Amino acid sequence: MLKKRIIPCLDIKDGTTVKGINFEGLRNAGNPIELAKKYENEGADELVFLDITATIEGRKTFVELVKDIAKELSIPFTVGGGISTVEDVRKLLEVGADKISINSSAVKNPQLISDLAKEFGSQCIVVAIDTKFIDGLDWVHIKGGREKTDLKTLDWAKKAEQSGAGEILLTSMDGDGTKNGFDIRITKLIAENVNIPVIASGGAGNREDFENVFNETKATGALAASIFHFGEINIDDLKQNLKQKKIAIR
């Protein structure tokens, strides 16, 4: 069984870490390089960097910032935002990213997943899925959650796996930033229907939320932002707590 991972996420806008609720109302959460160092020291298993407005603004991820953060890290580092070509990925891997996350570009061109997996290996291709529950169904959203697609979340997760994704980063837009707990229902559904690791994201508010998502779903990672950024939970304390609850944690 894969050991569970605790993964802080840096949502980046204009070079600064930000955090909102349900993908809106962003506020400043600090310097990304300082936060990256802090999380490594606290025992984070991985770090995710998402340039959340790159796609909307039609530009590429901040390569220099990725380079500066990567210099401070020895843990796996996933980078996403505005990635749409093999060349984009090559540049990010060259400056220190270990994995890359694609979302809107993969939805628009599923062949991209296959091309990237063939070029760099599935292990470094993460497909991020932003999902929202509307009228009794789960729908994939793109462009930083601004645009609903006609893709059902489960169908897309299966297609991403078939296309060569090595991992799925599943964000519940309904839970994002609310601190009401991870969306167990959608996480369970996706994690039970694909054979690649699923990272749960959106809604973490306390230690019990991590315990619940690991006990009640097959998610192998749990990602959070604001509770770590604003010092509400220390990662090392969280991991010790989960170990005491007999959860196999890295």
Indicate which residues carry an active-site annotation.
11, 130
Q: Are 17 and 35 in contact (CB under 8 A)?
A: yes
Structure tokens, 158: 């299966």
Tell me the pairing of strands 24-30 and 16-21.
Answer: antiparallel
How would you write 182-232 as a 3-class SS string?
CCHHHHHHHHHHCCCCEEEECCCCCHHHHHHHHHHCCCCEEEECHHHHCCC
- DSSP for the chain? -PPBEEEEEEEEETTEEEEEETTEEEEEEE-HHHHHHHHHHHT-S-EEEEETTTTTTT----HHHHHHHHHT--S-EEEESS--SHHHHHHHHHTT-SEEEESHHHHH-THHHHHHHHHH-GGGEEEEEEEEEETTEEEEEETTTTEEEEEEHHHHHHHHHHHT-SEEEEEETTTTTT-S---HHHHHHHHHH-SS-EEEES---SHHHHHHHHHHS--SEEEESHHHHTTSS-HHHHHHHHHHTT--B-
